[in-house]
Amino acid sequence: MLEPLRRGWRQLEQTARSLLFWRDVRGNTVIVFGLIAATLAAATGAGVEFSQAHEQTNRLQDAADAAALRGALMAKDETAAKSAADTVFALNLIDSGITPTSKGLSFETSGSHKTAIYAARAQIQTSFLRLMGINTLTVAATSTAEAELRKSEIALVLDSTGSMSRDSRMTNLKAAVDSVLASLLVNGQNVWGAKVGIVPFDTQVNIKGVPASGIAGEFGETPYSYSCTGSGMNADSCTSLGTTRDLMCSGSADVAACKANARLYAYTYNGSYRVFVTSYFAQNNGYCWVNYSYSYCGYTVVSRTDAYSTTNWARTSSSSNSTPWSYAAYYSRPNSSYAQYTGTITATPTSAGGYGSGSTTTIKDNSTITANADLLGVGTDSWNGCVIDRKQPYDVSGQSPIASTPDTLYPAAKCATNNLLPVMGLTTDIAAVRAHAQKLTPAGNTNITIGVQWGMELLSPELPFNTAQSYSDKSNYKYMIVITDGENTQNRWTTSATSINQRTLLACQAAKDLGITVYTIRVMEGNSDMLKACASRPDYFYDVTAASQLTSTLAKVFYSIQSTRLTK
């Protein structure tokens, strides 16, 4: 690519050396030195052009790499892939001064592998090399990439603090998130089947809108009181039936239909009260029907099994969490031990105080405190969805809240700002995630630990979200991408960055121990050493020195997640 330039450089160098040793017998040394100076000037200028051409060649190669990766990611639709690859190629050459003379994406298929090839050429105008008759230099770049389809669950843990308002950081973050999520779609379809969720954080996390199954964990008690009409049910077992029914239906597409069509079964064995609930709801209209045992066409059957202690009636385990079946599915009692309850259950919302508050009305003011232990104390009637760190060591744990273990519960708090966007659970609806991310608004201080901890909750198959695959499912890959621009500044107990960093590292290690692959991206500011240690591998840490680099950096992370790799 640069061989003509190298030849020109060697020719100028040889000319200069020969002139240094040339002597005119008549002593005309002024002409000699003039020729030497002109030649050296040309050689120096050519050196500058050589350096510039080398940089532009690297820029062209980087753009071709990005284009090939995008093409491989969208290889199922070659027309869309070619258009997307050209767009990415152009974006990576903005302000480069490079004008391609040719560019394009092609594909090669060998067996089950499909390779994307992006080739580009450009001409660079010369100045000093014109003295040698070289007016332009042609540079070229070729990149090939392959993609491997695999199931993924991705938690985007996004810094939503006040410092993200500087240097267009939040603007670029939202653009970067939108770009990589768009790369998962081909003709509007999530071709990878990826699940994506978002955890915005500052010193808190906002879980407003999380189903009631999660709120029970935050407040340490059932968010409803239940009454049962029918025989054989006392108050405690009534609550158990109602709780399991509501937990099962909370994530359904049609909660009302789910509850209305629910069948409830229970039996007691060795001090354990087991509840099995199943229901169905319609997904579309058409020639579909449901009988006692099976569903067909557009109906979905869900079920859930919970165990309760007959001593204190606390829920002790759940063996099935709102399992959906899109085709023929189970819709009867699981075995003869279970007896069906045929009465009516009425649920009434309660107004219980936040965990640790001892009151339904007291609201502490975050703006007047120095240590966040005082954030506790807000009632459900005025709670806007914000929670703070759980008690240690659960503040760095992915363990789900358990009603019988108070330290695992999420303390409700007054929101430190009015800007913190609520968490969005894992979903395959990429369009909805893209729309949600655009609502991010920066404000508040930084507590990376709580973001990482809730990233684990998103990826957990247990409550409060319970939409993720089991950790034992080796065909499914779990990822957490932490993007932050700040030092840790405040958590529930302290404003010491050193102390909070230690909690963050423990949370990151807990995520990695669960099999979650952690990527970290530092945006211009923050503790590089801590974030690098947080990542699953040193090369999974990215240091962004300008907010404008976020799109290309996050794209690299997604290429890695999708197992999209450069092969040449």
Using one digit for the tens of pLDDT, what is the confidence trace for 460-495? 988 777 788 888 888 788 999 999 997 899 888 888
pLDDT the model gives residue 32: 46
The reported pLDDT for the residue numbered 484 is: 95
Distance between CA atoms of 325 and 318, rounded to whole angstroms?
18
The length of the chain is 568
**Domain match, 328 and 300 both:** yes
> DSSP letter string over 152-190?
EEEEEEEE-SGGGGGGGHHHHHHHHHHHHHHTTEETTEE
Helix 212-219 to helix 235-249 angle (10° resolution) is: 130
Average pLDDT rounded to a whole number, residues 334-348: 84
C-alpha torsion sign, points 41, 42, 45, 50: negative
Over range 517-523, report the average pLDDT: 95
* 162 and 243 together in one domain: no
Average the pLDDT over 97-111 and give the result. 82
Q: Is 214 left (phi over 0), alpha (psi -120 to 50) or beta?
A: alpha
> Residue 348 pLDDT more than 90?
no
List all residues 6 or more positions away from 399 whose beta carbon is below 8 Å from its beta carbon. Answer: 408
Q: Give the chain's radius of gyration (CA, Å).
A: 31
The two tokens of residue 522 are: 């530092």
95 with 159, same domain: the answer is: no
Residue 186 has pLDDT above 50, yes or no: yes
The answer, yes or no, to whether residue 452 has pLDDT greater than 90, is yes
And the tokens for 551?
A: 């799109």
User: Tell me, what's the pLDDT at 76?
Assistant: 72
169 and 99 assigned to the same domain:
no
Residues 470 and 536 placed together within one structural domain of the fold: yes
H/E stretch holding 392: none
Note the pLDDT of residue 500. Answer: 95
Q: Which of 349, 365, 386 is the last residue of a domain?
A: 349
What average pLDDT is seen over the chain?
76
Residue 269 maps to a domain: yes
Q: Say which amino acid occupies 477.
A: Y
| Helix and strand element counts for the chain (H, E) | 12, 22
pTM of this structure: 0.56
Which of 530, 501, 458, 470 is CA-nearest to residue 158?
458
Neighbouring residues of 299: CB distance < 8 A, sequence distance ≥ 6: 280, 281, 282, 283, 288, 289, 290
398 assigned to some structural domain: no
Which pLDDT score, from 0 to 100, does residue 360 have?
32
Name which residue leads in pLDDT, 19 or 202. Answer: 202
- Taking the C-alpha atoms of residue 244 and residue 308, their distance in angstroms, rounded to an integer, is 10
Are both 428 and 562 inside the same structural domain? yes
Residue 38 has pLDDT above 60, yes or no: no
List the 151-159 sheet strands across, edge first. 424-427, 195-201, 151-159, 476-484, 517-523, 541-544
Q: Which carries the bigger pLDDT value, residue 172 or residue 353?
A: 172
Confidence category of residue 199, pLDDT binned at 50, 70, 90: very high
- Residue-level pLDDT at 286: 44
Is 30's pLDDT higher than 50? no
Q: Same domain for 296 and 431?
A: no
What's the domain count of the chain?
3
Q: Give yes or no: residues 33 and 136 share one domain.
A: yes
CATH at 550: 3.40.50.410
| pLDDT score recorded for residue 522 | 94
Nearest-angstrom CA–CA distance, 467 and 315 = 19
Q: Is the pLDDT of residue 296 over 90?
A: no
pLDDT greater than 70 at residue 125? yes
How far apart, in whole angstroms, are the C-alpha atoms of residue 454 and residue 550?
A: 23
End residue of a domain, out of 121, 146, 171: 146
pLDDT of residue 542: 94
The predicted-structure confidence for 137-150, as pLDDT tens digits, reads as follows: 788 889 988 776 56
| Percentage with pLDDT > 70 across the chain | 71
Note the pLDDT of residue 131.
64
Strand pairing partners for 199?
157
* pLDDT at position 287 over 60: no
Q: In what order do the strands lie in the sheet with 272-282?
A: 315-320, 299-309, 272-282, 263-269, 339-341
Select from 473, 471, 476 the least CA-distant residue to 150: 476
- Please report whether residue 386 resides in a domain: no
Note whether 181 and 434 are within 8 A (CB). Answer: yes
In a domain, 177, yes or no: yes
What is residue 190's predicted lDDT score, i.e. its pLDDT?
Answer: 81
Q: Identify whether residues 135 and 165 lie together within a single domain.
A: no
* Predicted confidence (pLDDT) at residue 540 exceeds the cutoff of 50: yes
Extended beta strands in 448-508, E state: 476-484
Same domain for 445 and 344, yes or no, is: no
Q: What is the predicted pLDDT for the residue at 456?
A: 96
User: Tens digits of per-residue pLDDT, 222-271?
Assistant: 456 788 888 777 778 888 898 888 877 765 666 777 888 888 999 988 88
Establish if 387 belongs to a structural domain: no
Question: What mean pLDDT do residues 538-543 have?
Answer: 93
- Backbone region of residue 270 per phi and psi (left: phi > 0; alpha: psi in -120 to 50; beta: other values): left
Across 119-133, b (16+ Cβ under 10 Å) vs e yields bbebebebebbebbe
379 occurs within a structural domain = no
Q: 172 and 73 in one domain?
A: no
Residues 465 and 530 in one domain: yes
Of 185, 203, 202, nearest to 194 (Cα)?
A: 185
Confidence band, pLDDT 50/70/90 cuts, at residue 356: very low
**How confident is residue 219, by pLDDT bands cut at 50, 70 and 90?**
very low
**pLDDT tens across 390-422, in order?**
889 999 999 887 766 777 777 777 777 878 898
Q: Identify the residue with better confidence: 482 or 188.
A: 482
pLDDT at 177: 94
- The answer to whether position 418 is within a domain reads no
Residue 97 neighbours by CB under 8 Å, 6+ apart: 56
CA distances from 171 to 154, 177, 235 (A): 21, 10, 53
- 91 versus 256: the higher-pLDDT residue is 91
Residue 555 lies in a domain: yes
Q: What is the pLDDT of residue 110?
A: 65
User: Which structural domain, as residue segments, surrounds residue 103?
Assistant: 3-146
Which segment, 78-92, 295-309, 369-383, 434-448, is predicted with the most confidence on average? 434-448
Q: Is the pLDDT of residue 216 over 70?
A: no
Task: Give the residue carrying structure tokens 């099994």.
Answer: 305
Asked whether 274 and 307 are in contact (CB, 8 A), the reply is: yes
Residue 505 has a pLDDT of 97
Alpha-carbon distance 274 to 268, whole Å?
6
**Collapsing DSSP states into helix, strand and coil, what is residue 381?**
coil
Contact between residue 466 and residue 358 where contact means Cβ atoms under 8 Å apart? no
Among 303, 326, 349, identify where a domain stops: 349
At residue 433, the pLDDT reads 92
CA distances from 367 to 79, 127, 388 (A): 54, 62, 15
Sign of CA dihedral 225, 226, 227, 232: negative
Q: If you ran DSSP here, which 8-state letter would residue 31 be given?
A: H
Phi, psi of 425 (to 5 degrees): -70, 170
Structure confidence at residue 113 (pLDDT): 62
